[in-house]
Structure 1
Amino acid sequence: MNRDRIRTARAAALAAALALAAAGCAPSEDDLEGPGEPGELRVLAGSELADMEPLLADAAEEIGVTVHMDYVGTLDGVDMVRSGATENRYDAVWFSSNRYLTLHADGRAALRAETPVMASPVVLGVTSSAAAELGWDEDAEVTWGEIADAAADGKLSYGMTSPAASNSGFTALVGIASALADTGSALESADVAEVAPELTEFFSGQELTAGSSGWLTEEYVRRAADGGLNAMVNYESVLLSLSESGELAEPLRIVRPADGVITADYPLSLLETASDEVAEGYDRLVEHLTAPGTQERISAETHRRPMAAVPQGSEAAQMFPPVTELPFPARPEVVDELVAAYFDEIRRPARTVYVMDVSGSMQGDRIDGLRDAMHTLTGGGTDSTAGRYQRFYEREEVTLLPFDTVPHPPMTFTIPPGNPAPVLDEIGTAVDGLSLGEATAAYDALASAYETLEEGGGEEDAFTSIVLLTDGEVNEGRDFAEFRDEVHAGLPEELRGVPVFTVLFGESDAEEMESLAELSGGRVFDARETSLVRVFREIRGYQ
């Protein structure tokens, strides 16, 4: 493959992955129901694997196996496998790692076969100027502890995905904690408490969180251009692709910490419930993907490391320096304790204003759906792994700002450490008490949300955001242009950067909600064909 073709393929793959991840694709409730067909493979996959679709399309022509990919967050996917929700819908799963899934007996039992296809460690990308200032040249052996020191000194400001939503953030958290513990063995519960102070230093540099690697990358490009960020924690493959894409003012220096990383090995895994005929197609696909020629192409087009032998002297054999691999925790309770500590104690808290439509059109199922979604975030109905991680966190500030013809008075709650239940109950009671009005003054309510943030006394370094849910056309008060020109343009710089996450619901104006998200640096979530519970949980990855 010549270099021009490689560059074109990489650019197309990166664009496809970013677009799909940013769109928040999730499995349809109805697609691909029933038993699988011979010659087809229905796969539940992580969204970053969208860049493999060109290779899978070619595989269909070459070996006669057609792959249908549905995309999901890793922890939601783990829950689907463990609960049996994948039965008769999917033949295989393809996550960046099966490590967390196979910590659980029901997860191990659900897999019939698994084959690692490629690899990518979770590492740090730093702008070349910041790396030079820190003395991190290509030959420097940098540790996670040194990275934590740079973050604590204010020399490193970075983005990382949420461990509750994306495997890159989940893997990074586990790897960093394991490296800082420096025990030489798998992380244990006592180690989590021991390394908490160093983790707090490390995460003091986190300025951006996200629910997917794709949106994180897009937002990093935007903020790096403004000088707001100088680093990103992500898959090595994503960082290499971005650095070569031409989207950045300066290339990234890839820091592969000397004290170790955890590597995603992308195992294509056949489910126990797949038929023997489908399993035969799986075997043909695995053989094709792990063949030397395909492995070289994967490395060239996606920057992931080959898992099978490739010819010595080939580009794929030479392009990746070795890394030290850290052990993954052996017990699921340790991972759960670490993720809980990250949100409740270690990282900076969240501060969110929920701007909620209570106009007359929300009558019935719509207001019930909104109440269900908010109750899920207060801890109700969160038996799933992902649900437990996506609740409201300790130290978090939550403001409810209902609106109809006019904005209602905001109601602000701060979740106390140690005993959050009484305040979470208060939030639930407030949501249950919402009464419906008449018209829809969404932009007046947004203006009120910014006023609330400006006047409030919350954490200065909180992850601050606004969530706007409206089910219809704005027909009262300011319109979008007036909000944009009269309100948003006049905000202080720190408030202009607060993202608005808009929710498409009912008859809301999709084009206008997209414009609002773009104006604020937020993104759109679509609840027109899925539940508000699912969408509100997805938004948690961005807060």
Structure 2
Amino acid sequence: SGVNRSSGSSNWLVDLFLMGDYNAMVNYETLIIQTNEQLEAQGKETLYAVYPVDGLSISDSPLGYVNKGDAKKEEAFLEFQEYILSDEAQSEIEKTGKRNSYGKVRDENKIYYKPEWGIQVDKVLSPLRFPPTEVIEEALTLYQTSFKKPAYTVYILDYSSSMRGDRQEQMVDALAQVLLPENAKQHLLLGTQQDQTIIIPFSSEPMDAQEKSGNDLTELYDFVESTFAGGNTAMYEATLAGLEIIKNEPDLAKYNPAIVLLTDGEANGDLDYFDLEASYLNLKIDVPIFSIKFGDSADDQLDMIASLTNARVFDGRENLIEAFRSVKGYN
């Protein structure tokens, strides 16, 4: 219940923590160190590392080479490997907060692993023994459907005239991977029975919102599939409608709220970014507005929205299905 935000990227989680007003984060030891270096440079309170008692998961980042018969590339790889394993290179790597391949740190580099930050450089590392694949898969499914904080997701979907034809088809196909339970389960995107999902289509104005509780969102998929495109791009009006719905949720603290905006063009309604900014700041709630750019969407508009709400912009122009899968990793 204490989780306010989730992230599909450990490095982006650092950026989010530094931009936002959060008390803690779960991340790699090396990223806690790097975060504290930035916090210290800014004169802010640093984090204190807490290690799980009953075992750790270790990210060892192995280096590999795929041999395709190119002798020059193989020679270059072997030279790089030899250098990266040299004492000089290993020492430089340790200075970034990454332990060596044995989980150790040279005495001269221990100054970068500050005990006042809770870093236990001499801690005996006890890696977890991973169970069989089917056990891990079941554990992940249980986390997604039972233990994870419920999501409150509002999809703002562009149904302007430029979405007619192939673009609308691609959007519907992508949403099938998120909304239909058999697909969502396959991609570890199936939510909890407490999840709240809302669809707001828009063209010249926002259409009526469609809402569904739980993780079987087939009805929402049927609605998305049967809605027709036509009209202008009232993107800001629709986004504000989504924020209004979230603001009026009396039990918002029980959820991880987020807005997911998909558009293929530049907003041309009556409202603009500054209307959205004023309303968002007035709400005083931490709701990220993730955007999926598609077609000829205006990158600058979406980037400004992401910056305002501590969110991200995903590129759906090459693979819209993958973009929708990725954005769910942040909610």
The two structures have a TM-score, normalised by structure 1, of: 0.55
| 3-state SS, counterpart of residue 25 of structure 2 | strand
CA-to-aligned-CA distance 1:89-122 (integer Å, 9 cap, x gap): xxxxxxxxxxxxxxxxxxxxxxxxxxxxxxxxxx
Question: Where does residue 504 of structure 1 map in the other structure?
Answer: 293
**Secondary structure, counterpart of 2:64 in structure 1:** strand
| 171, 183, 205: which one aligns with 2:2 | 205
CA drift at 1:378 = 2.6
**Does 1:264 pair with 2:59?**
yes
How far 1:248 sits from its partner (Å)? 6.2
**Where in structure 1 are there 5+ consecutive unaligned residues?**
1-203
Amino acid at match of 1:252: L
Structure 1 residue 393: deviation in Å?
4.5
**Which residue identity lines up with residue 337 of structure 1 in the other structure?**
E
Name the structure 2 match of 1:433. Answer: 226
CA distance in 2, matches of 1:467, 1:286: 42
State whether residues 354 and 466 of structure 1, in contact with CA within 8 Å, keep that contact through their aligned partners in structure 2. Answer: yes
Q: Which residue of 2 aligns with 1:314?
A: 108
Q: Which residue of 2 aligns with 1:299?
A: 94
Q: State whether residues 7 and 329 of structure 2, in contact with CA within 8 Å, keep that contact through their aligned partners in structure 1.
A: yes
- Which amino acid in structure 1 is aligned with residue 306 of structure 2? A
1:338–1:542 distance in 2 versus 1, CA, 3 Å? same
User: Pairwise mapping of residues 387-406 of structure 1 onto structure 2 (< 5 A)?
Assistant: 388-406=187-205
**Cα pair 2:159 2:230 within 8 Å, conserved:** yes
Cα distance in 2 for partners of 1:314, 1:407 equals 61
Of 217, 231, 250, which residue of structure 1 is paired with 2:24? 231
CA root-mean-square deviation: 2.6
Alignment of 1:54-69 (within 5 A): none
Pairing 1:542–2:327 present = no
Letter in 1 for 2:61: Y
Shift of 1:377: 0.9
Alignment of structure 1 residues 377-416 onto 2, 5 Å: 377-379=178-180, 382=183, 388-415=187-214
Report the Cα distance in structure 2 between the residues aligned to 1:510 and 1:313, rounded to whole angstroms: 48
Q: Quick one: which amino acid aligns to residue 288 of structure 2?
A: P
Match of 2:118 in 1: none
Letter in 1 for 2:270: G
Partner SS for 2:259: strand
Q: For the structure 1 residues 527 and 285, does the alpha-carbon distance in structure 2 shift closer, same or farther, using more than 3 Å as the test?
A: same
- Cα distance in 2, alignment partners of residues 281 and 330 from structure 1: 37
* TM-score normalized with structure 2 length: 0.88
Q: Percent identity?
A: 28
Alignment of 1:507-518 (within 5 A): 507-518=296-307
CA gap 1:321/1:358 in 2 versus in 1, 3 angstroms = same
Q: Choose the corresponding residue for 2:282, options 476, 490, 495.
A: 490
The count of residues paired between Structure 1 and Structure 2 equals 321
Q: Is the alpha carbon distance of 1:316 and 1:326 closer, same or farther for their aligned partners in structure 2, counting shifts above 3 Å?
A: same
**Aligned twin of 1:249:** 44
* Residues 513-522 or 388-397, more deviating: 388-397
Change (3 A) 1:324 1:308: closer
The structure-2 alpha-carbon separation of the partners of 1:248 and 1:374, relative to structure 1 and needing over 3 Å to count, comes to farther
Q: Which residue in the other structure is 1:375 paired with?
A: 176
The answer on whether the counterparts of 1:261 and 1:323 sit within 8 Å (CA) in structure 2 is no
